[in-house]
Amino acid sequence: MSQWVFIALGLSCIVGAVALGGSTAIFFDLPSVFMVVVVGFAFSIAAHGVGHLFAALAAGFRSVAQDDEDAELYAITLQTLRSSLCAAGAAGFLIGLVKMLQNMSDPSSIGPAMAVACLTALYAVVLAELIVSPMISRLRLRSDSDAASQPLEASPDVNA
């Protein structure tokens, strides 16, 4: 429960920082959202399947421990999502730069193209590094702590 409070606190600080600079509406660009979210999730689903991806997301948000094998598989799936989100953000950034450079003769088109470039990178960083990355760490930490809490099996005596 406390993780949700701190997730909300962190995201509200980001939204608050955005709001201090003026209108928050300028930080919402639907093509940039689609570029990062749809492309990132599509490549993750292609790699692991829709059911496994959503099971990994659910496991990452849960506070109960998983089996070591399940936790590691979920962490690998979430790492794919993290990488895909970052790659989609980078691709969106480059697409925005190409659009900007293509229209250098028209100064009115430079701003919107640069906004697409910057916002895709922003969305990718927020989703991949502030949401998915802690989920991966939490899954791996829980699986490691479960392994550490298990009693060690006696090793066979090789001299007997």
107-116 long-range contacts (CB < 8 A, ≥24 apart) are: 115/26, 115/29, 115/32, 116/29, 116/31, 116/32, 116/35, 116/92
Q: What is the pTM assigned to this prediction?
A: 0.80
Instruction: Per residue of the chain (160 residues), give pLDDT as tens.
Output: 677 788 889 888 888 888 887 777 788 888 899 999 999 999 999 999 999 999 999 998 887 766 778 888 999 999 999 999 999 999 999 988 888 888 888 888 788 788 888 999 999 999 999 899 999 998 888 776 655 555 444 445 545 4
